[in-house]
Amino acid sequence: MSVLERLEIKHPILLAPMAGVSTPELAAEVSNSGGLGALGLGANTVEAAKVQILKTQELTDHPFQVNFFCHQSQALNEVDAKNWIEYLKPAFERFNVSVPNELNCIYPSFLDNDEFLNLVLETRPKAVSFHFGIPHAHQLRALREAGIITLVSATNLLEAQAIEAAGVDIIIAQGIEAGGHRGIFNPEIDGAVKTSDLLQLIVQHCQIPVIAAGGIMNGRQAKHMMNLGAQAVQLGTAFVQCKTSNANAAYRQALLNHPLTQITSSISGRPARGIMNHWQTQIDQPQRPTPPAYPYTYDLAKQLHAVASQQGDQSFAAFWAGSNVAQIREMEARDLINQLVLEMAE
């Protein structure tokens, strides 16, 4: 069966499940327009995730995916934490605020326990996708037995082959152009392969369907990926500007200012591509100490952004965006889906 048949969607267009930006309204709008809507739930509690899933199910009868993080949880390295807090001390002081003295693990992993798994089994979305790694064998088995389609992001061939070997249904080939967090399993290893090259590598060596993600902003780019072997494409940055996304006004404006993007691990402790601001131009100094493990670093970054934004300064925001963000168009999700379909047919 093709990806369209398995996901029961009309168009080969998936909304990227962007944690913090996705909403039930945006997911439903994409699904109701023939694509596959998405909820990025990795930053949510189980209770909050359930509310979002149930709300989306109220807004659409069509399939959508939910997404969780599968990072390997690590204990906090106290030396790294102390060095990182000291390094960011001047950034806090510029806003006349003392730097926090501890870091918290703000995001759980799907691997840590089965609470998120049980939520998915209870609410039965059409598909569930994973970032940063592969669920445990018993988790995949439970999802398979429940008839829920599984997808996992791969940033290189070895990850893709591991995904296929684990019995996952679909691979998402996430190229270096993609906005937000790299889906790399090991933060220390990133082949930085562009989407078109990664797609071709995976299609040549894996048998399960592949979806292309990274740098896709219009139908012509999507069609190119389909011609290279993708059965569908996944777009995130293109949809952030939609009114139904959770992006704030500053984020939306930044997207439309023809920005440049750069990957940094200083914000969260994992490499992620976003619009350049003080993180890339001031924090990422060559002598920068090693950030603590994800998501401890993210805790400090969020606190710094909160302090700065309270004083009207957005220079420490995490405005995630792909490398082709300058091609963004001010369109609502339904119109964007229709435009993408038209362009793919040209």
Tens digits of per-residue pLDDT, 217-247? 999 999 999 999 999 999 999 999 999 999 9
**Is the predicted pLDDT of residue 124 greater than 90, yes or no?**
yes
> 123 near 54, Cβ under 8 Å?
yes
CA–CA gap between residue 223 and residue 261 (Å, rounded) = 24
- Sheet containing strand 261-264, strands side by side: 180-181, 272-275, 261-264
Residue 249 lies in a domain: no
Residue 154 lies in a domain: yes
pLDDT of residue 170: 98
Q: How does DSSP classify residue 158? A: H
Strand-pairing partners, residue 154, are 173
Q: What is the pLDDT of residues 67-123, one digit of tens each?
A: 999 999 999 999 999 999 999 999 999 999 999 999 999 999 999 999 999 999 999
Number of H helices, E strands in the chain: 14, 11
Residue 296 lies in a domain: yes
Range of the structural domain that residue 42 is part of: 1-73+108-243+330-346
Q: How does DSSP classify residue 326? A: G
**Is the predicted pLDDT of residue 326 greater than 90, yes or no?**
yes
**pTM for this one?**
0.96
Q: What is the pLDDT of residues 128-156, one digit of tens each?
A: 999 999 999 999 999 999 999 999 999 99
CA–CA gap between residue 274 and residue 236 (Å, rounded) = 12
**Is the predicted pLDDT of residue 1 greater than 90, yes or no?**
no
Q: How does DSSP classify residue 325? A: G
Residue 252 lies in a domain: no
> 120 near 150, Cβ under 8 Å?
no
Residue 250 lies in a domain: no
Same domain, 62 and 208: yes
Same domain, 9 and 65: yes
Same domain, 48 and 152: yes
Same domain, 86 and 191: no
One-character DSSP codes across 120-170: HHHH--SEEEEESS---HHHHHHHHHTT-EEEEEESSHHHHHHHHHTT-SE
Same domain, 37 and 184: yes
Residue with tokens 């220390």: 188
**Is the predicted pLDDT of residue 22 greater than 90, yes or no?**
yes
One-character DSSP codes across 261-303: EEEESTTTSS-EEEE-SHIIIII--TTPPPPPSTTHHHHHHHH
Residues in the chain: 346
Query: What percent of the chain shows pLDDT beyond 90?
Result: 99
Residue 197 lies in a domain: yes
Nearest to 66 by CA among 31, 101, 111, 98: 31
CA–CA gap between residue 104 and residue 118 (Å, rounded) = 25
The CATH number given to whatever domain includes residue 215 is 3.20.20.70
Same domain, 21 and 96: no
Same domain, 16 and 66: yes
Phi, psi (deg, nearest 5) at residue 132: 80, 0
Residue 269 lies in a domain: yes
Phi, psi (deg, nearest 5) at residue 152: -135, 140
CB atoms within 10 A of CB 115: 13
Q: What is the pLDDT of residues 176-204, one digit of tens each?
A: 999 999 999 999 999 999 999 999 999 99
Same domain, 301 and 342: no
CA–CA gap between residue 185 and residue 195 (Å, rounded) = 17
**Is the predicted pLDDT of residue 257 greater than 90, yes or no?**
yes
Same domain, 62 and 154: yes
Same domain, 295 and 146: no
Number of structural domains in the chain: 2
Same domain, 262 and 164: no
CA–CA gap between residue 80 and residue 86 (Å, rounded) = 10
| CA torsion through residues 10, 242, 117, 271, sign | positive
Nearest to 130 by CA among 102, 111, 107: 111
Same domain, 88 and 48: no
